[in-house]
Amino acid sequence: MGWLKIVGMGPGDETLLTPQVQHALAKASDVIGYFPYIARVTERPGLRLHGSDNRVELDRAKHALQLALKGNKVIVVSSGDPGVFAMAAAVFEALEDGPEAWRTIDIDVLPGITAMLAAAARVGAPLGHDFCTINLSDNLKPWEIIERRLRLSAEADFAMAFYNPRSKSRPQGFEKALRILNSVCKDTRPVIFARAVSSPQETINVVPLTEATPQMADMRTMVIVGSSQTRIIQRPDKSPIVYTPRFWAP
Ligand code: SAH
């Protein structure tokens, strides 16, 4: 009997891969995913790796369901958590529209440490109070929705975590996002640019909102914007701590 597990590989470092996902990988016959994530899977005899390019999520999902129905032990990999802007929803979209037989497959989603939480932990606790998360890519939704959500989230005074902040194919979006934030927030709350968190290329940069520039972010960057309550603790010879208190001080 085959199965399908949709797993999160964490933000990069192998110590941030859960034992549950490691055990699943050890039992799999096939691993399917975007090339860079497949590259993080250790090869072994009997394990077939199926790497594919970006933006073919639905084809990848269908392939995984077909293999699992045939009796293979299939893993679909995502970075971070598979339920956060990643493959789990793509698999369920394919399942909903696909052949009835796919609904008989055993499917599990195994969580991973999402980039937002790994990034927040590197600077302290910027998400210690209410926060929201927005994917800034307009590949799968209109830009107007992103703008509306940005404006309303800032007005509601959430801390905010942005995935996919800026890519070569969409250089303007993040610039517009910063303009909206500055116009609503009108203060110098901290903005965290956490790039390639937990990898050897990791960089962490904390700047006041008024000094944040579009060039500070790329597709390997997680951007976290504090709320009006977010604080910075300066320390001698150590990087500053950024945190948002648990209480609300009007
Ligand atoms: N499922 C993934 C997110 C996929 S969207 C997760 O849960 O983390 C891809 C975006 O995630 C990137 O554009 C970037 O904004 C963020 N990201 C993924 N890994 C990251 C890392 N190690 N450091 C910083 N940001 C990362």
| All structural domains of the chain | 3-113 (3.40.1010.10), 116-243 (3.30.950.10)
DSSP 73-117: EEEEEESB-TTSSSHHHHHHHHHHHS-GGGGGSEEEEE----HHH
Mutation choice for ligand 1 from 16, 139, 220, CB with most ligand atoms inside 8 A: 220
CA distance 168 to 107: 35
- The pLDDT of residue 170 is 80
Tokens of 225: 């914007």
User: Is residue 49 within a helix (H) or strand (E), and if so which, with residue range?
Assistant: strand 48-52
Give 227-247 pLDDT, tens digit per residue: 999 999 999 999 999 999 999
Give 62-76 pLDDT, tens digit per residue: 999 999 999 999 999
| Å from CA of 1 to ligand 1 middle | 33
Hey, is 242 helix, strand or coil? strand
In this structure, the residue with its CA closest to atom 20 of ligand 1 is 115
CA distance 96 to 221: 32
| Å from CA of 38 to ligand 1 middle | 15
In this prediction the pTM is: 0.96
Q: What percent of the chain has pLDDT above 70?
A: 100
Sheet holding 48-52, edge to edge: 48-52, 30-34, 73-78, 3-8, 106-110
